[in-house]
Structure 1
């Protein structure tokens, strides 16, 4: 798992039930560190799981402790779907404790420039209790990790959360990478069980286990964890077969993910080009597949996205309709009702299937 995201040390990877729980774990672990007057910067393109925890912290939790934390939300270009980096930079200052941003929007598909966001955070000058300087950066990688080469060390990410069920594994396991300098002083999210050092519980003092066990309270999802680890190798082997066995696991993973990214870009660009040429169809997000992950969200004039999804289902096409838990972005674009239909090609899909999808959507749009 650690090698799959470029982490040099497996001890920097914690396991939770999914991206949502991982992000909540960061929020609760940092909660006691926030000072009155601090702020959090996020964006209008976030999944609810990377917005609501921070909303709750600022509006519902810390006020009960007499602390005022501001939540600032950066916008995006309504035409291109690209993050407004200048707006984000304006909102970050010396009181910004953490920047929380999607790695790839599950609605628009947009991939914000993570390295530039990290650079903005590093320059903020925020002083953390552990002595580190600069705003932390948390990346929601749920739609990034399954489709894109990720190297947390090179990117400089402080927190990366992702889910294994979005990359061929069963539901119920998610990963959270935490930079070692942060992890060493981070408060646990949950208490009890294996996170306690063996025999180190007395009425006067409790000592916690070493990393990463300090963050593994309760009984883990053992079978799910094993399968999640296996799937990281399965994906690489599916793509590369017996090739490149002579190089390191990290290098081999990178080659496999580059191949997946390139393949999915071809499918995605075809869908974008064809769907935007159909009268009445509006496609959201970047129109250049190299600037997004493999999700294409769209609406058909005069038709509710739920009805579109139902018609696609009738001809054997799996899509998703609704707000995709990206409610902020739908409202930001003025979509009423706040919903769209989404097609998400993956490594097992073919170009012929994409042609079938285009023909089906064309028929629905012309009805």
Structure 2
């Protein structure tokens, strides 16, 4: 098991085991609809969920609902408060007008007090614009001139975070892992980029307590392969980065049984999960999907052969190696690296 922090920064450092070396005996079968990791299965393909939907249901959607309730609650409180303030202000204007409008001999403090209300005398119903200017003047309400900063903060915080969590909850494109039996590959894609590995060469490990599968894509800057970790939704708790040994075992045996024995080994019928409610994210297959697949597979083959060539040359040129003298022996040493060129 590799620490989650390490693989987050360096996914290529994940300690892995060959997937094909694990059991292919699916000994803990459940109905397809009860498998939290299964999105769809048929004779050609099996589609595996990521923890994305679980994370939406347990994290982002509750946050979105809480923020929405808080936004309406604070907005309703703000509006109700200012409706009452406006009524109070209207009442004060009428009282001052009735008491002092006909008084001629007023002392200086009282005259100043009356003059602040004088612009509103004679108005039976003060409009909201006049009320807002009076409120922000600081002459009628304590610290009223500072509330505009609270309004600005509200307008930044709630709309901004509602948009963020709304997007994460309902518009994030779904990302799946597809096991293609006909082509013998495991692949995923998102934002126009394909990540894949051959099933027979697939490696998996544990990032913290969470199962992860190594996939590869082309680094646009260097043209070399880069490692991407796909974390399947093995458990209801995968969104919390954990799963149990039995859940991991069920997933691994399911995937191996499907790839080696076909759909009937894991399900008697084709299955397609229902689309999640209020999920509007789209993740279309890249237009150059086949081209990317060919490029990645070619690059995998190239990198698989490279260490073999280096090892052959090292063995042939090593004066201290006396036990390996023939091309056949060299082939035995390099057989695990890929196809021999000898």
Which structure shows the bigger proportion of residues in helix conformation? 2
Between the two structures, name the one with larger relative contact order (CA 8 Å, sep ≥ 6): 2
TM-score tier, shorter chain, comes to under 0.3
Alignment TM-score, normalising by the size of structure 2: 0.24
Alignment TM-score, normalising by the size of structure 1: 0.23
Question: Higher Cα Rg: structure 1 or 2?
Answer: 2
